[in-house]
Amino acid sequence: MSEFETVRMLLSHNFDISNDIFPELSLQDFTQVFVEGLSQYDRVKCRHLNHPHWMVEILFPKNSFSPAQMGEMCADDLLSKRMSQRNKNDSFPDILILAGLKNTPPLSDSPDTLQTGEWGVDVVETASAEKFLTELGWEEKTAEKTIDQVFKVERLKH
């Protein structure tokens, strides 16, 4: 492995909140959160994807960041965006970054699809992280996996 090896992470957005409570980000706004937020880091690149599920591609140097560190930065960027939009009386979402390393063949030959050895990340905004994770069966699905295969980042409302 080269010390300059690049890690590829693809983000999807799971908005599990009523639009009446908190507004959903447009695809462009969702992408911009990470393009702007991660632009401060050398050799980290973000772009919009043309894919029905995966919305944003993040490329970063393996020797500078771990996937979990990048997940933490993504959670912080989305939290900052949501804090900037928040009115005093607004309900605020829990934010989850749920990531897994793809170890099966890709579902498509499209360059914008998740490939074997890449990180698929579901960026979740939900009214209740606990309820969402329970319904998803997160603990059961990830019980046998290591930090090298899966990770979770939480930013819970206060």
Quote the mean pLDDT of the chain. 91
Sheet with 119-126, side-by-side order of all strands: 45-48, 56-61, 6-16, 119-126, 94-101, 150-155
Domain ranges within the chain, ordered by starting residue = 6-155
Longest alpha-carbon distance in the chain: 50
pLDDT category of residue 1 using cuts at 50, 70 and 90:
very low
In this predicted model, what pLDDT tens digit does every residue of 42-84 receive, in sequence order?
Answer: 899 999 999 999 999 999 999 999 999 999 999 999 999 988 8
pLDDT above 90: percentage of residues in the chain: 75
